Amino acid sequence: MRQKRAKSYRKQLLVYAHTFKFRQPYQVLVDDQIVLTASDSRFYLVKSLGQTLQAEVKPMITQCCMQALYATENQDAISLAKTYERRRCNHPPKDPKNPLECIESVVNINGENKHRYVVASQNIELRRKLRRIPGVPILHINRAVMVMEPLSDASARISKRKEQEKLYKGLNDAKYAGIKHDEEEKGKNSEKHQSKKRKLGPKQPNPLSMKKKKKNESELPKKEELTTTAAGNDDEGNKKKRKRKHKKKTAELSNDEETTFKIPEGSEE
């Protein structure tokens, strides 16, 4: 696929995605005629659909189109169509409708493509009817090449109207311009800030960064008192020690005096 054609298809798919909310994988409805054309010319239908839409696709076929293929008795086309997902059209199999009417009834629901189908068809009349429905991408095979039709007038009209609505709402409505939204956010943030302040209360300073409190001079003991108390304690200790030593010495002296001054019996005076 050439680059110019791929670029134009990409732009169209962006319009379908933004305006009509198309999402991947794309649901592609195929009719009986495009299946017959692909089987006769050995055309890789699913592969070419993915290349044209530049995304993953999910091929689908209705029960009425399958009945039309059974009537042709083309086994290659029937076996190819059986590989696709079956789409229920709620038409009785005993009395099937024409593929044109069947696909139109499935796609056109109250004047819009409600289920977001991409239609691949070789029926010119069906394609002409689907162009009147907004938001229907249409594909067909042209000279062994899968081609995507340009945006229809109905789809382009709705896309332009929605773009204008977005522009006017953004300019005139404060909600879309972002003013009201910003004011609401500011109000909410201020309320949250006030509620946090009420819950937490006044903050206390870090205890590690605070200086230790100094005691008053009246509470502190004076140096003289400290020295006197220390000296008194030392004197008392020394006195106690001296008393103990003195007692020991006096006891020793008394014993020595007794031994030295003791006069033996029978000695002359």
Average pLDDT over residues 173-200: 57
Task: Tell whether 172 and 113 lie within a shared domain.
Answer: no
Inside any domain, residue 193: no
Task: Tell whether 72 and 175 lie within a shared domain.
Answer: no
Q: Are 13 and 53 contacting, i.e. CB atoms less than 8 angstroms apart?
A: yes
Inside any domain, residue 239: no
Task: Tell whether 112 and 64 lie within a shared domain.
Answer: yes
Inside any domain, residue 160: yes
Inside any domain, residue 178: yes
Task: Tell whether 36 and 116 lie within a shared domain.
Answer: yes
Task: Tell whether 21 and 61 lie within a shared domain.
Answer: yes
pTM metric for this prediction: 0.62
Task: Tell whether 134 and 21 lie within a shared domain.
Answer: yes
Task: Tell whether 26 and 111 lie within a shared domain.
Answer: yes
Task: Tell whether 172 and 63 lie within a shared domain.
Answer: no
Which residues have C-beta within 8 Å of that of residue 39, sequence separation ≥ 6?
74, 76, 77, 80
Task: Tell whether 61 and 178 lie within a shared domain.
Answer: no
CA 141, 146, 148, 149 torsion-angle sign: negative
Cα–Cα separations (whole angstroms), residue 71 to 64, 65, 78? 11, 10, 10
The CA-based dihedral angle spanning residues 88, 92, 93, 96, taken in that order and rounded to the nearest 10 degrees: -100
Please report the pLDDT score of residue 261 as a whole number.
Answer: 45
Alpha helices in the chain (DSSP H): 3-20, 32-40, 45-53, 63-72, 75-82, 99-107, 124-130, 153-172, 174-177, 179-200, 223-261
Which of these three, 185, 205, 237, is where a domain ends? 185
Please report the pLDDT score of residue 30 as a whole number.
Answer: 96
Dist CA 261 CA 247 (whole Å): 21
Please report the pLDDT score of residue 46 as a whole number.
Answer: 94
Inside any domain, residue 217: no
Judged on CB neighbours under 10 Å (0-12, 13-18, 19+), 193 is: exposed
Which of these three, 124, 150, 176, is where a domain ends? 150
Inside any domain, residue 126: yes
Looking at the DSSP assignment, which residues form a beta bridge with residue 119? 29, 138
- Residue carrying structure tokens 């200086």: 211
**DSSP label at residue 54:** T
Which of these three, 150, 176, 209, is where a domain ends? 150
Please report the pLDDT score of residue 54 as a whole number.
Answer: 93
Per-residue buried b or exposed e for 68-83, using 16+ beta carbons within 10 Å of the residue's own CB: bbeeeebeebeebbee
Average pLDDT over residues 128-134: 94
Which residues constitute the domain of residue 84? 3-150
Task: Tell whether 9 and 103 lie within a shared domain.
Answer: yes
Given a cut of 90, whether residue 211 has pLDDT beyond it is no
Q: For the residues of 254-267, what is the DSSP string, one character each?
A: HHHHHHHHPPPTT-
Confidence of residue 77 (pLDDT cuts 50, 70, 90): very high
Inside any domain, residue 247: no
For 12-53, write each residue's pLDDT tens digit: 999 999 999 999 999 999 999 999 999 999 999 999 999 999
Number of domains present in the structure of the chain: 2
Given a cut of 60, whether residue 267 has pLDDT beyond it is no
Domain CATH for 115:
3.40.50.1010
Inside any domain, residue 253: no
Closest CA to 87 of 108, 49, 129, 117: 117
Task: Tell whether 74 and 172 lie within a shared domain.
Answer: no
For 223-263, write each residue's pLDDT tens digit: 555 555 555 555 555 555 555 555 545 545 455 544 444 44
Dist CA 29 CA 137 (whole Å): 11
Compare 207 and 149 and report the one with higher pLDDT. Answer: 149
Task: Tell whether 82 and 164 lie within a shared domain.
Answer: no
Lowest pLDDT segment from 78-92, 100-114, 191-205: 191-205
**DSSP label at residue 25:** S
